[in-house]
Structures are given as C-alpha cells and as structure tokens.
A and B are shown apart, each in its own frame.
Chain A
Amino acid sequence: MSTATTTHGHEDHGPTGIRRWLTTTNHKDIGTMYLVFSLLMFFVGGAMAMVIRAELFQPGLQLVDPGFFNQMTTMHALVMIFGAVMPAFVGLANWMVPLMVGAPDMALPRLNNWSFWILPFAFTLLLSTLFLPGGAPAGGWTMYPPLVLQTGNAFPFLIFSVHLMGISSIMGAINIIVTIMNMRAPGMTLLKMPLFVWTWLITAYLLILVMPVLAGAVTMLLTDKYFGTSFFLAAGGGDPVMFQHIFWFFGHPEVYIMILPAFGIISEIIPTFSRKPLFGYSSMVYATASIAFLSFIVWAHHMFTVGMPLAGQLFFMFATMLIAVPTGVKVFNWVATMWKGAMTFETPMLFALAFVFLFTIGGFSGLMLAIVPADVQYHDSYFVVAHFHYVLVPGAVFAIMAGVYYWLPKWTGYMYDEKMGKLHFWISAISVNLTFFPMHFVGLAGMPRRIPDYATQFADFNMIASVGAFVFGVSQLLFAWNIYKCARGGKKATAQVWEGAQGLEWTVPSPAPHHTFDTPPVVK
C-alpha cells in the first residue's frame, strides 16, 4: 500500500524497480506486498461473491450453470480465507510486529520473502483452474470426499495450491514466533508486549500446529484419487467422515486464526481512541490462550449430523459452549476500556466499534450453533452462512480495515481522507447488515446453503441480501481509492499520529524509515 518508503529513510543499496520487490528482505516491503496481494484477492473473492449474490437475487436460474455456481462458492471461500484474510494479517504482522517489539527486522528475513512469494504462485495455480476444461473445484471449501474426488482436471491443482499455501503459512508463522521470542528490545518482557503481538504469537502457534494437518488431509485425498488408497472409502475399511474429522481439526483452529489477530488489532485501537489504557491486559492474554487451547477440542461441532456417538456429541457441545467464556471476557474488557474514557470516533475507531457489536452477534449465533439439538436444524442452512459471515466480514475484515486506517499514516507518512473513510464505514456497516442479517431468517425458515436456486418463499430476503451485497461491494472501491490516494500524498502525519496512541511504533517518524530500531530502544 505504501510506495512512499522508497524515498524516505536511510539508503538501502539493494536493487531497485521490480527486482527490489522480488528480492527484498525488508519486513516493511514484505508487509506491503502481503497487504496489496490481500486487497487484490479480496476483490477477486468479492467478485465471486457478487456472482453468487447475482444468481441468488431471485428464484430461478438466470445467469450461471449450477456447476459453475458451486465453483464460485468454493473458490470464493478459498480465495477469501487463504488469499485475503490470512495474508492481510500476515502483512500487518510483518509491518507492525518488529515495530512494536523494537526489532530491526523479522528474525529470518530471507525466509520471510519466500513465504510471501509462494502465495502469488499458489493462487496462480488455484485460479488457473477456472480456465481448465471442467472448471474450478466445486466441492465446497471443505473439500469433503467422495464429492471432491469427482473434481476433474482441477483436482491436483487444488491439492497442490493448498500445499503451497500451507508451506507459506507455516514459514510465515515460524518467522513471527522467532521474531517475537528472540528479537524483543531490552526491557520488553512478555507481559509488556502489545496485544496485537500477543494475539499473533498465539495465532502463529495455531498455524504451526494445524496447517500441516490440512496438508496431510489433502495428501490423503490425492492418494485416494490417484494412487488407490482407501482412507475415505468404506469398501476398503476407510470412512468418508474421517476426512471431516481431520479437516475440522485444522478447520476450527483456522477460524480462530482468522479472528485472534483481529482481537489484537481491536485491543490496540479501542484504548487509543478512548484515551485510556486497555482494561484487563493480563486477562486478555489468558483469554486468548484459552480460546486457542479450546479450539483444539471442539472441531466436531461442524459434524453434528454425521452420526457421531452420543458421548462425542455431548463432549463437543460442552467444549464449544465453553469458548463463549474467554471470548466474553474479551468483549467485556473492551467495553470496560471505553467506560469512562474520552472517546473520539475516527474511522479506525468506527470500524472497531462495529467490530465489537457485529462480532458479538456472530458469536451469539455461533453459540446457538453449538447446541446440538438446535444445530441439527441450523446445520448446512443459511443460518450458518449468516453466522460465519458475521464473524468473518464485520469481524475479521472490519478489523483488518480498522487496522489499515489506523496504521496507514505510519506507513505512508500521510493522513488518509477522513471524510471518505467515514463514508466508507457507514455504507459498509449498513450494507453488511443488509446482506447478512436476512440470511438468519431464510436459514431458520429452511433454506439450505450452497444452492444456486431456491423455493419462492425465500425470495424477498434473498433479494435484500443481494442488494446489500452489491452496495457493500461497491463501497469497497472507496477503501481502495482512499488507500491509493493516501499513498500518493495528503496531509503530513506526525510520528504519534493519534492523540491517545501508545507504544513503540509511534515513536518512529511517519512514514517509518526503511530501517528502524537498528539500535534497540530500551523499554522501561
């Protein structure tokens, strides 16, 4: 997002032009590349969502073949999760973690470059399947066998692109852990680290523990399809449901991978604009750790209808419900931080506030989903779609946007256009609810997910959702435009940028010079 850094800071004698970006080992350059890539993927995945919403605008099939619709659903999810949200968080970590802990760079700079550059190739592999005969994968992002084994030529591309994404994430996570554990400035004890650093540390552990499991799962799919193994084939003594267990052992922690860094961002922004220290810092840390721990023992709540033994269902129900407790602690702490503060409402704060409201709503529907008897009704209906878009879009994505607005002046050295930012916020906040709230209703009334066409009684709410989605989509152009303008120039930003901002990243000039903290600062 920032090109301004080239002209500032002290000289780097590395290559210039495109080669600079291909070969860079600088955490800021790499962070920028991650963020730009993520924005691009957000638009690609969003365009697919627009196709979905256009087809669902009214009953009957108007635009696309059902097979293509399934391709869109599958690719939309894969692109958004692995291409937009995760790389955005990694980009933010690259930019901010070294600045926040007072390190000169990431601990393993070359590895960092590799982690990034694998991603564009992975998505080239994945997106190229749209042009293969037979089209892109259409078995859902969850890739359940036996259905996914019916994928045609796209199949190996799907598997290997997932492998590449996994390699990239694992190496990125290793780098973040090592940076945090080894590169902190003197005096920066663990319990002095900013919460964004803490949440990322824990996220990185999650990544290392679950991405390899996903790699294993898709490898078994590959051998089942091409090499005659029968992991997921009952005739040979396997079980299709076994894939679901392995997948969700990855998949559930994965959803927390997409929300913990968001918690971190929000925990930075709310204190700043409340001009009051974060309430309950250490309980925030413990809550994050508990969520991460619990995320490993709840995976089968995605599988309450597969015919699990009763004891299993009870266990996974109770464990899942427990997650509401640490998450609640976080929400209450944010509210308590605002309480008796002196709040102002710049764009980052607006997004953060919307996050707290709307993520909580998504969390509530998650809790409802955890109740097994009710879940057998909710499962695979639009109620689930409503749930996860609430935690992902006004959850993870809003947090990313909040973070981008918050740190953009630090990256570019200029203030973004506040009016346009506020406009972007209000249109997004309203339209996102228009899009996803009605999905609760159609879901409860019985509309299954992953269908290109639906019975006529669901027509009205689907139309509202589609209109909301188009508005939401278009309003993201404001976001991109604002970032572009801000990288180009504007009002000069001060080092501290925000009146209430605290922390090392605000002690370096804006834009942050190409190299920072070559001599470590001392934290008291």
Chain B
Amino acid sequence: MSLIKIWEFGQMSIFFGTFRRASLALGLLLPGAAMADWELNMPKGVTGISAEVYDLHMLIFLVCVVIAVVVFGAMIYSIFAHRKSLGVQPAKFSHSTKAEIIWTIIPIGILVAMAVPAADTLIRMEDTRNSDLTVKVTGYQWKWHYDYIDEGFGFFSTLDRQSDLARQVGSGIDPSTVDNYLLEVDNPLVVPVGAKVRLLMTANDVIHSWWVPELGGKKDAIPGYVNEFWFQAEEPGIYRGQCAELCGRDHGFMPVVVRVVPEAEYADFIAANAPPKAEVVPASLSAPASEAVIAVPAAAPAPVEWSMDVAMGEGEGLYNAHCGACHQPNGQGLAAAGFPAIAGSAVATGDIAAHIDIGVHGRPGTAMAAFGPQLSDEELAAIITYQRNAWGNGTGDLVTPADIAAAR
C-alpha cells in the first residue's frame, strides 16, 4: 500500500463529490432532528427478546448519561469557578470519609438495579426449549449453510452476485447503485412468522458468528461444537445481518439474510424444496449435499448426460461462488495472500487424481478447505473440469461425478 496512493486519494474529487453527504451528516447531528430515517441506535427489532434488549440498552445508556451529567457537571463547574486566574486560594482538604463512603455505596446500588433486569432477560434468552422449528446453521469460509433438518434439505447462502461484483478492488461499480450492498444473499433463510426458531450453530473451518440485529443478537459458530440460539420473529419481513467474527479474508462478505414469511408462504417454500419422499434429488447443481446428520436420499445419477459442455457451463458459476474468493475468477489467485493461481498450476494441469484429491480433501493447515463435505459429486466434478480447462489450462480432461465419488 503506497502512501502516495492515499495522498492522491485525499486529493481526488471523490472527496468533494461525497463532501455533500458528510456535511449532511453533520447537519443531522446538530439539531437532533430527522433521526427517524437515520440509524444511530440499536434497532428495536422484531422479536420479544430484541425489544427487551433494546429497553435494557436504553436504560443503561440513560443511567450512564445521568451519572455523566452529575460528574461532568461538577467538573465543569469547578473548572470555571475554581481557577487561579479568578484569584481563588486553594483549599487544603484532602479526604472525607463520608463522601467516599457515599460514592462507593451509591454506584453499587445503581449497579444492582441494572443487574437485576439484565439477569432476568438473560435467563429468558438462554431458554431454548419448546421450539417450533430447528435449522442447523454451518459457517464456512465465506458462506452459510442452512439445513432444515426436519424437512431433509439444505442449501448454501452466499453473497449476492451484484454485491460481489461491486466489491472487488477497483470494480468501478458505485456501491450505492447496488440494492442492499453487501447485505444480500442468493438464498436467504426462510422461516415462518411467530414460530420459535431454534438455530443449531456450528462451523466447518474457523469460527464465524451469526448476527441479525433485528432478531436480537448473535451466536458464534464454532468448529467441532454446536451452539444453540433462538428467535421468534413477530413481523414478516426481510432481516439482514453479517458474520460478526473475523473469519479470514472475506469475513466482510458473508451476510446473513432471513426472510420471515406468513405460514402459508412458508409451507410453499418447504413444498418447493423438500425432497418428496422416494423421489430423486434434482440434479440442479445449486442444491448442495447436506451434512451426514440427516438421512439425505442417496445422490442418484444425474438425469442429464454428463458432458464437457454441461461440466464447463455449471463449473464456471460454481467455481466463482466457491473458489473464486481465493483463487479469483480469473484463476490467477492472489500470490500476496498466499492463494496460488489455478491457471497454469502444476496441480491443475498435472495428475487428475492429485487435483481431485486437493478439491475433495483440501490441504490441512492451510486455508484450502476440504470441499468434499460441502459439495456434491456433480458440483465438484464440474468445478474441477472447469479448472482443468479454463484460462488456457486446456488439458481437455472431463472429470465425472463417479471420479469424485471414488476419491471420497
């Protein structure tokens, strides 16, 4: 990062172009007006808990303000009234047991008064019993996977394509032209309104944290452990949040979107997605493999003929979604960040078995995760075929789902 660049940046007209907005912001700060459409505070949210949390937040905030007024008031008074330039003589006192006892006891009282409602809310937050619906949430670098474990299906939820294009360094796309920039996903989590939804949170690689402010909080997704979190949304709507635990390069780009819908719409959603009993999973490559926990119908052979065209066609999108963050859509990788290029890579142009192996099993101890558990045979076959043929790799190899299955 050159300092020159920052300097030029300061000089650039962007500064003036956006200056208007900055002055607007300052303007809003002063009169305290027009705060309605201005997000300065914690949202009240749409769950009982989130509203309680909001009230608690306002309570402690106001208590702090009151104490601040008293303490700062005394200080400011003394700064103005007890200054040498007014010719005052300094007093000599240096302690007062009475005063000190008072200002030890009173804060303790205030703290107790805060602690009681806080503990009360906390105990309710921790009560995960009697849920109506359970979804297993798995954090991946850098996407979420939702498993409707009672219904037997699941899907990945990744950053929306529009945002993804706009957020590349030097993309030239103005983020303000993208709807819900960075807060939109391809497949949101869908839940019925009024239901107590229990989320079982875990992660596949590193720690992530699932956070939607309007649903009243966050919970860490920890690899190797399952955490519980619940919410009960009272109003239909679309609620947005982000991963809140640093999880690597694209931590800023794994949003959480929850659609809270009326019961009927939810039923439609389930009907459209749940695998009808005994029927075959459609080879639609966007339906990924679920975790082993629930009995997923065995992946039957794809109805479509597996060909170079199919593999390359599906491979590109899948590659961009799952590998592009590191190896980059142009296959050049990011040497500076330790992500090797696939274009011209010895692995991607050499032995097929080794290439499949790294795709399925990853490289332990590096950011290169095992994609075997994340992706279906078809998906991985398409991606690897794509990697072996795109960007002039041109090996002409067609990897089939059976090859992947054999390597698992």
Contacts and interface: CB of A to CB of B under 8 A. Distances in A.
Direct contact of A and B (CB under 8 A): yes
Interface stretch (B91-99, B278-286, B380-388): B91-99
Contacts of A67: 249, 334, 336-337
A191 interface: no
Contact of A373 (B56, B174, B242, B365): B56
Contacts of A456: 175-176, 181
B336 A65 contact: yes
Contacts of B78: 335, 338-341, 343
Contacts of B217: 305, 373, 376-377
A356 B18 CA distance: 35
A349 B90 CA distance: 16
Interface string B212-244: 010011111011110110000000000001111
A329 B92 CA distance: 20
B170 A149 contact: no
B13 to A, nearest CB: 13
A146 B223 contact: yes
Contact of A318 (B49, B115, B224): B115
A467 B22 contact: yes
A444 B42 CA distance: 5
Q: At the interface, is chain A mostly helix, strand, loop or mixed?
A: helix
Nearest to A447: B242
A317 B64 contact: no
Given A234-B223, A306-B220, A371 B103 contact: no
Interface stretch (B143-151, B202-210, B293-301): B202-210
B9 interface: yes
B95 to A, nearest CB: 5
B71 A331 contact: yes
Nearest to B73: A335
A420 interface: no
A444 B40 contact: yes
B91 to A, nearest CB: 4
Contacts of B213: 377, 445-446
B341 interface: no
A135 interface: yes
Interface string A108-148: 00000000000000000000000001110011100010110
Contacts of A488: none
B75 A150 contact: no
A134 to B, nearest CB: 4
Interface residues of A, number: 111
B272 interface: no
Contact of B251 (A50, A276, A450): A450
A376 B71 contact: no
B123 interface: yes
B171 interface: yes
A235 interface: yes
Contact of B111 (A322, A341, A374): A322
A43 interface: no
B90 A372 contact: no
Contacts of B209: 305, 379-380
B64 A50 contact: no
In the complex, which of the residues A62, A306, A448 has the most CB atoms of chain B within 10 Å of its own CB atom?
A: A448
Contacts of B130: none
Contact of B114 (A276, A332, A371): A371
A407 B108 CA distance: 37
Interface string B163-179: 00011111101111000
Nearest to B28: A460
A445 B248 contact: no
Contacts of A460: 21-22, 24-25
Contacts of A51: 1, 6
Contact of A321 (B49, B93, B115, B173): B115
Given A60-B174, A324-B107, A342-B90, A448 B244 contact: yes
Nearest to A51: B1
B85 interface: yes
Contacts of A372: 118, 122
Interface stretch (A82-90, A192-200, A278-286): A278-286
A25 to B, nearest CB: 38
Contacts, number: 341
A134 B248 CA distance: 13
A381 B244 contact: yes
A317 B115 contact: yes
A58 B39 contact: no
A382 to B, nearest CB: 11
Task: Name the interface size band of chain B.
Answer: 35 or more
Contact of A342 (B83, B174, B367): B83
B337 A450 contact: no
Interface in B50-97: 52-53, 56-57, 60-61, 64, 67-68, 71-72, 74-75, 78-79, 82-85, 88-96
B250 interface: yes
A368 interface: yes
B1 A357 contact: no
Given A283-B100, A332-B103, A377-B216, A446 B250 contact: no
Given A328-B103, A450-B251, A277 B1 contact: no
A144 B39 contact: no
A294 interface: no
Contact of A147 (B1, B71, B247): B247
Contacts of A328: 103-104, 107
A63 B1 contact: yes
A261 to B, nearest CB: 22
B126 interface: yes
B220 A367 contact: no
Contact of B242 (A62, A281, A451): A451
A241 B207 CA distance: 9
Given A134-B336, A144-B246, A322-B111, A310 B100 contact: no
Contacts of B103: 328-329, 332
B90 A147 contact: no
B225 A234 contact: yes
A324 B111 contact: yes
A427 interface: no
In the complex, which of the residues B92, B180, B182 has the most CB atoms of chain A within 10 Å of its own CB atom?
A: B182
Contact of B84 (A324, A329, A344, A461): A344
A239 interface: yes
B83 A60 contact: no
A313 B121 CA distance: 12
A328 B71 CA distance: 10
B357 interface: no
Interface string B1-34: 1010110011000100010011011100000000
A367 B39 contact: no
A344 B245 contact: no
A371 to B, nearest CB: 5
B126 A310 contact: yes
A368 B225 contact: no
A353 interface: yes
B262 interface: no
A374 B117 CA distance: 11
17 contacts: A50-B6, A58-B14, A59-B175, A59-B176, A150-B206, A150-B367, A234-B223, A280-B96, A321-B115, A325-B111, A371-B114, A373-B125, A380-B209, A445-B213, A460-B25, A461-B25, A467-B22
Q: Report, nearest first, the 8 A-B pairs whose CB atoms are least far apart.
A: A234-B224, A451-B252, A460-B25, A376-B217, A134-B338, A445-B39, A307-B227, A340-B91
Given A62-B9, A332-B71, 17 more contacts: A61-B167, A66-B251, A67-B334, A147-B248, A279-B95, A329-B100, A339-B78, A356-B75, A364-B64, A368-B61, A373-B118, A373-B217, A379-B209, A441-B41, A445-B42, A454-B182, A456-B175
